[in-house]
Amino acid sequence: MCGIVGYVGPVNGGRDAKTVIIDGLRRLEYRGYDSAGVAVVADGAIELRKKAGKVADLEAEIAARPLDPSNLGIGHTRWATHGGPTDANAHPHVVGKLAVVHNGIIENFAHLKAELAEKGYAFKSDTDTEVAGALLLDTYTSLEGTADSGDLTRAMQLTAQRLEGAFTLLAVHADHPDRIVAARWNSPLVIGTGEGENFLSSDVSGFIEFTRDAVELDNGQVVTVTADGYEVTTFDGEAAEGKPFRVEWDITAAEKGGFNSFMEKEIFDQPAAVRDTLYGRFDEHGALTLDELRIDASVLRSVNKIIIVACGTAAYAGQVARYAIEHWCRIPTEVELAHEFRYRDPIVTEQTLVVAVSQSGETMDTLMAVRHAREQGAKVIAICNTVGASIPREADAVLYTYAGPEIAVASTKAFISQIVAAYLLALYLAQVRGNKYADEIRAIIDELQEMPDKIQQLLDNAAQIQQLGRDLSGSKSVLFLGRHVGFPVALEGALKLKEVAYLHSEGFAAGELKHGPIALVEDGQPVFVIVPSKRSRHNLHAKVVSNIQEVRARGAVTVVIAEEGDHDVEAYANHIIRIPESAGLMQPLLSTVPLQLFACSVAEARGLNVDQPRNLAKSVTVE
Ligand code: M6R
């Protein structure tokens, strides 16, 4: 949570730092949007503007009180942890001649604050960040008269050694108008490298407009960035290195492209997201070639249990994947919310394969679950959409989804791509363990390859669902029912609606209805029902049709998501949304799409900010 940007360019003739930083903050705003700020170094002094509210409010503040042109600055967009979203608590925090921005939570801040207060430091905000800034200033001052006098990098290394918790900390100093110094611990930070200018950001979208060349940093590193280069060390001051990489997407992927919201655009990106996630992962005979997995086949053959750890939408993708893994590979599979995983003392051995699913790759709960699993001796495979993020870095292997940047807080194309990647993993396991013959694997891959066109067919019919969203936008609550893989899809449909439309919604296993939830159904209650394929899930289909009848008989307004040609549902449906025919396990890739479109259009009809729902942030980097 929180987005951070830093820019350092040539002293003469370069870009103006504030313009670069504001651009970056706009792109990072999905990470947190309750306050924003910029500090630049101009004429040997720090100039600061910060404001509660969105980046647009900060821009208005800068328009009213302009900042001097500068080659150096840092900026921040906040998701509040310590201290409410006020002007005073907004970052940057200026302490003496220093300005700092921070992402994360400093757990020992109370102790440090007391120590610094005793030395005479006074604090203007309630934040842990200002304490970190004061500690940095105190450390910097303590170096005076030593060989390290005036060395901001050394001061940052020593400060980082004293901070506990999670932090990415960026600092500029009025006496050093040529550099930004940063430290990273359990919180993301990448360098963007340009020609005679360099950038720092929470993720590459903060500088993608200016460069696609980036450098990953490791946990426990400090970096000093100037216009001409960067130098990486450990917290102990040992020389270290970052890992350069090239960003595979460009700025157009991070723009709305004519859609009303990023969420809507990202829903429409899904055919490409599936195609790109499949691309290059198998040969012409259908043999999977997941070279990037880097885990020996003998280890995969010895696996006797899989635990999928994830949060939110990613966990629902894991729930869908479980059905496929157990069916195709015959390996017992559990799905666990990452934040519950390690606290229940799970049975994890060297034969356990843990699969961590995360769009951002920075979700702290999932990262902690990865660490716990590895400590227990398990191998961990990450399914992730963000190259070089913490979770894939710490896992034994990674299978990237290629959904492109997901900007809207509500996850859509990442969900669909996570299912595809998890299916590829399942098929790979089936291949190396000999659970399936090559032609069986080929047949499933053929089905997967048909999905982009089928999703596109659904999107071509978006207007029907969007109209339904407008019609039902006044509802007090909406229920979602599904069986088998339709169950996690129902949960995902309900989460989307809660998240972007602030509308009470619940997803249930349709079989559970008669055990309690049916009491909720009264006249006019909208109930979405995801109907499995009649061809491939005949028994299940009949049961779900009965469930539709049961709620309809009690006054529900039924919205039935059913395959083309499924006439059995017609008598009991107030609304039918048709999806193309598919194999049972492929259906979530289709049935989720109308639910995403529905939530998006309900939120729009209610006049809400679809991309930045209240109280949320895109990547949850606190536990
Ligand atoms: O980045 P991650 O996939 O690890 O994020 C996990 C959840 O926080 C995320 O899926 C969240 O539930 C979404 N906002 C749902 O749309």
Domain boundaries, the chain: 3-250, 259-458, 461-623
Tokens of 409: 């807080």
CB contact set of 48 (below 8 Å; sequence gap of 6+):
37, 38, 39, 92, 94, 99
Helix-strand-coil split of the chain, %, nearest 5: 40, 25, 35
Q: Is 368 in the pocket of ligand 1 (CB under 6 A)?
A: no
Active-site residues: which are they? 2, 618
Q: Which band of pLDDT confidence, cut at 50, 70 and 90, is reported for residue 535?
A: confident
Mean pLDDT value of segment 190-207: 95
**Distances 320 to 59, 421, 430, 483 between C-alpha atoms, Å:** 43, 12, 17, 11
Residue 520 has pLDDT above 80, yes or no: yes
Mean pLDDT value of segment 353-358: 98
Q: Is 359 in the pocket of ligand 1 (CB under 6 A)?
A: yes
pLDDT in tens, 453-502: 999 999 999 999 999 999 999 999 999 999 999 999 999 999 999 999 99
Q: Does the domain at residues 3-250 carry the CATH identifier 1.20.120.520?
A: no
Query: Which residues are paired to 564 by β-bridges?
Result: none
pLDDT in tens, 391-434: 999 999 999 999 988 999 999 999 999 999 999 999 999 999 99
Residue 54 has pLDDT above 80, yes or no: yes
Q: Is 363 in the pocket of ligand 1 (CB under 6 A)?
A: yes
pLDDT in tens, 165-178: 989 999 999 999 99
Q: Is 313 in the pocket of ligand 1 (CB under 6 A)?
A: yes
Q: Is 366 in the pocket of ligand 1 (CB under 6 A)?
A: yes
* CA atoms of 557 and 528, how far apart (whole Å): 8
Rounded to 5 degrees, φ, ψ at 496 are -60, -45
Quote the ligand 1 centre to 226 CA distance (angstroms): 35
Rounded to 5 degrees, φ, ψ at 473 are -70, -15
Nearest CA to ligand 1 atom 7: 312
Q: Which band of pLDDT confidence, cut at 50, 70 and 90, is reported for residue 295?
A: confident
**Distances 408 to 2, 3, 335, 533 between C-alpha atoms, Å:** 15, 14, 25, 31
Contacts 24+ apart (CB under 8 A), 513-520: 513/481, 513/547, 513/550, 513/551, 514/550, 517/479, 518/550, 518/551, 518/554, 520/477, 520/479
pLDDT in tens, 557-569: 999 999 999 999 9
Atom of ligand 1 nearest to the CA of 359: 3
- Tell me whether domains 3-250 and 259-458 share a fold: no
Specify the fold of 461-623: Rossmann fold (3.40.50)
Mean pLDDT value of segment 205-209: 92
Side-chain-side CA neighbours of 619 within 13 Å: the count stands at 33
Mean pLDDT value of segment 298-312: 96
Closest by alpha carbon to 74, among 35, 27, 32, 24? 24
Q: Which band of pLDDT confidence, cut at 50, 70 and 90, is reported for residue 508?
A: very high
Q: Which band of pLDDT confidence, cut at 50, 70 and 90, is reported for residue 84?
A: confident
Quote the ligand 1 centre to 46 CA distance (angstroms): 37
pLDDT in tens, 308-347: 999 999 999 999 999 999 999 999 999 999 999 988 888 9
Nearest CA to ligand 1 atom 14: 410
Atom of ligand 1 nearest to the CA of 414: 3
Nearest CA to ligand 1 atom 10: 313
Atom of ligand 1 nearest to the CA of 620: 8
Q: Which band of pLDDT confidence, cut at 50, 70 and 90, is reported for residue 292?
A: confident
Count of other CB atoms within 10 angstroms of residue 286: 17
Q: Are 104 and 74 in contact (CB under 8 A)?
A: no
Q: Which band of pLDDT confidence, cut at 50, 70 and 90, is reported for residue 44?
A: very high
pLDDT in tens, 564-589: 999 999 999 999 999 999 999 999 99
Rounded to 5 degrees, φ, ψ at 480 are -130, 130
Q: Is 592 in the pocket of ligand 1 (CB under 6 A)?
A: no
User: According to the model, what pLDDT value does residue 256 have?
Assistant: 81
Residue 142 has pLDDT above 80, yes or no: yes
Atom of ligand 1 nearest to the CA of 386: 1
Mean pLDDT value of segment 521-526: 95
User: According to the model, what pLDDT value does residue 286 have?
Assistant: 79
Q: Is 596 in the pocket of ligand 1 (CB under 6 A)?
A: no
Residue 1 has pLDDT above 90, yes or no: no
Share of the chain above pLDDT 90, in %: 84
Q: Does the domain at residues 259-458 carry the CATH identifier 3.40.50.10490?
A: yes
Ligand 1 mutation target, pool 262, 266, 313, 368, most atoms within 8 A of CB: 313
Nearest CA to ligand 1 atom 4: 358
Q: Which band of pLDDT confidence, cut at 50, 70 and 90, is reported for residue 2?
A: confident
User: According to the model, what pLDDT value does residue 42 have?
Assistant: 95
Q: Is 499 in the pocket of ligand 1 (CB under 6 A)?
A: yes
Quote the ligand 1 centre to 418 CA distance (angstroms): 12
Share of the chain above pLDDT 70, in %: 100
Q: Which band of pLDDT confidence, cut at 50, 70 and 90, is reported for residue 109?
A: very high
